[in-house]
Amino acid sequence: MVDEIAGIYACYYSSTEGYGAAIFLAFQGKLTGVDPNGVLLDGFYGKAGGCYRLKVLVDAPAGTQLVQGGEAGPKGQKYEVEVPFKESLTEQPFFEVDTPLGPLNVRFQKLRDLDDGD
Amino acid sequence: MTETDAQIIAAFAAVCAAVATGFAAWTAYFGPIRAARLAEDLRTVTEVRTNRERAKLNILGSLMTHRRSFWLPEPVSAFNLIDLVYNDNQEVRAAWAEMYLSVTTKSIPQHVQEEKLRRLLSAMSKDLKLADDLRTDDFGRIYHPDAMFEEQLVQAYQRKAALEAFTRKDTPPGTDSSSSEEVSDVFPPKPKRRDA
């Protein structure tokens, strides 16, 4: 089965306080990535009920500057985000994502497709 | 008069003398203290009045000096002290309230703001008994040489350029700061703030 979502992505996100970007790999239902501040992205994606759902655990190390503003505490900061989409992560200009620390607008850019046989 | 009567009278006189002596001693002790306290009170009242007059004069002097440059720190401080220092003069405080309203309301023309300012200066001058005979038009006579105006213009442009430079630092690279609200080439627009 062709995994249309698989690929290497860049995501650009904006909060009310600033901007950020990250790189991640989506492959075989799993997602792994990191941003320049060392914030880890770990999650999975899958299709259910006719649409996809991307679920990511965001793990910011202690003292990291958060894009929503402020710093991750002495024990770091972890939270989950969900991004539902119909066919691809690039189907709309950006997704509105609600996080416990504030809203984010996230834009995905597919850098390389992993299913093209190259 | 018997000898007993004489003794009683003598005793009474002695008691009166003792009371008078005690009163004299009390007066001699407490009199200077009370006089000193009274003098101190009078001095304090005079000093407070003098300080208040001096503060009022400083405020008036600052505003008169900077009638063409109200955005400077010195006249701004002077404006913010009017209600405190002139709290005993309702005319001044009313004039200040009118002027404050005129400069904080966008639709008020500049000549109206200047008129409010002249009325405020006139009220402050009358309070200090400095200019009972001056008219409000007299407060509009300002010596402001071209060199000073050009200096202020340069400072205004420098301030504007610095502000634009700081604003530009807050936008992501590759984004036009003048269109920070539009979708940039790379970053999505900022989300709306949540209500508190």
- Alpha-carbon span B11 to A111, nearest angstrom: 122
- Alpha-carbon span B104 to B183, nearest angstrom: 34
Q: DSSP strand E in chain A: where?
A: 7-14, 19-27, 30-34, 40-48, 51-60, 77-85, 95-99, 102-113
B192 and A103: CB-CB below 8 Å? yes
Predicted complex ipTM exceeds 0.85: no
Q: From residue A88, how far is each of A30, A63, B84, B164 by CA, in Å? A: 15, 34, 65, 39
B141 Ramachandran zone, left/alpha/beta (phi>0; psi -120 to 50)? beta
- Residues of chain B above pLDDT 90, percent: 33
pLDDT for the residue A65: 85
Q: Which amino acid is at B63?
A: L
pLDDT for the residue B146: 81
- Alpha-carbon span A13 to B192, nearest angstrom: 14
pLDDT at position B11 over 50: yes
DSSP assignment, residue A93? S
A14 and B188: CB-CB below 8 Å? yes
> Contact at 8 Å (CB) between A115 and A3?
yes
Nearest CA in chain A to B169: A18
- Alpha-carbon span B182 to B25, nearest angstrom: 91
**What digits encode the pLDDT tens for the residues B90-129?**
999 999 999 998 888 877 787 888 888 888 998 999 898 8
Quick one: pLDDT band at residue B184, thresholds 50, 70, 90?
Answer: low
pTM: 0.43
B192 and A105: CB-CB below 8 Å? no
Q: Which amino acid is at A1?
A: M
Tell me the nearest-neighbour CA distance from B186 into chain A, angstroms: 7
pLDDT, averaged across chain B: 83
Quick one: pLDDT band at residue B167, thresholds 50, 70, 90?
Answer: confident
End-to-end CA separation in angstroms for chain B: 101
Nearest CA in chain B to A109: B186
Task: Tell me which chain A residues have a C-beta less than 8 angstroms from the C-beta of B193.
Answer: 16
- Alpha-carbon span A106 to A78, nearest angstrom: 18
Closest among A85, A94, A23 to B185, alpha carbons compared? A94
How are beta strands A102-113 and A30-34 bridged, if at all?
unpaired
> Contact at 8 Å (CB) between A106 and A12?
yes
Helix boundaries (H) for B66-145: 73-85, 90-104, 110-127
pLDDT for the residue B176: 46
B191 and A19: CB-CB below 8 Å? no
Task: Tell me which chain A residues have a C-beta less than 8 angstroms from the C-beta of B170.
Answer: 18
Nearest CA in chain A to B183: A93
* Chain B residues contacting A via beta carbons under 8 Å: 170, 172, 183, 186-194
Q: Work out the angle at residue A94's Cα, subtended by the Cα atoms of residues A18 and A49, and round it to the nearest 5 degrees.
A: 130
**What digits encode the pLDDT tens for the residues B32-75?**
999 999 999 999 999 988 999 999 999 999 998 888 787 788 89
Task: Tell me which chain A residues have a C-beta less than 8 angstroms from the C-beta of B191.
Answer: 14-16, 96, 102-105
**What digits encode the pLDDT tens for the residues B18-35?**
999 999 999 888 899 999
Angle between helices B90-104 and B110-127 (to 10 degrees): 160
| CB pairs < 8 Å spanning A and B | 41
